Amino acid sequence: MDFKPNDARLVQIVDSALADAGQRAGPWLACRLGCTQCCHGAFAINALDALRLRAGMHALRGAQPALAAAIELRAHAWIKHHGPDFPGDLASGRLGESEAERARFEDFANEAACPALDPATGRCDVYAARPMTCRVFGPPVRMGEGDALGHCELCFNGASQAEVEQCEMAVPHQLESDLVTELADAGETVVAFALMR
């Protein structure tokens, strides 16, 4: 399966939903360049996110090889530092699926900066290829059907529940799930491994 057209459609839908939620939220949404709270702590990414990051890095290697090399250097350092505690297969970067490995992941690299984050500027160096978790962080979203709304703790300070609800971002969870299911390898990893060759 060529993931690119389907992923491009998903990204377009999510980015449009983010723009709409941001417009409705106005100053309640504190997200801006240099705000990097959401860029710290390891989180699982699915196979679709990993493919998008790899494609983004491939394009970056051609267009800006020095930047791509700097990102890979940070990713390599991240893996070297956190790898010994990685709850999965260190050779492939695939997260473990056992109960014990999932429990270990809860406390894994929680304070670590994402290797895609430029520490000097606070900018994501792979912003166009970033995972879905990054694309939906900030505005109010539901992570599953019927779930309560969650949003970045830096956003919506002083807002009422009604004001938060008026800014809900619609996330196409089913579309993303369907695309991940179509992939042969539906395992999860973390950003650092996806940034490497």
In a domain, 18, yes or no: no
Task: Report the domain count for the chain.
Answer: 1
Q: Is 137 exposed, middle or buried (0-12, 13-18, 19+ CB in 10 A)?
A: buried
In a domain, 52, yes or no: yes
- pLDDT for 97: 94
In a domain, 64, yes or no: yes
What string of pLDDT tens digits covers the 197 residues of the chain? Answer: 577 899 999 999 999 999 999 999 999 998 888 889 899 999 999 999 999 999 999 999 999 999 999 999 999 999 999 999 999 999 999 999 999 999 999 999 999 999 999 999 999 999 999 999 999 999 999 876 667 889 999 999 999 999 999 999 999 989 999 999 888 777 999 999 999 97
Residue type, 161: Q
HEC states along 12-70?
HHHHHHHHHHHHHHHHHCCCCCCCCHHHECCCCECHHHHHHHHHHHHHHHHHCHHHHHH
In a domain, 26, yes or no: no
In a domain, 23, yes or no: no
In a domain, 70, yes or no: yes
State which residues form the domain around 179: 3-13+37-195
In a domain, 22, yes or no: no
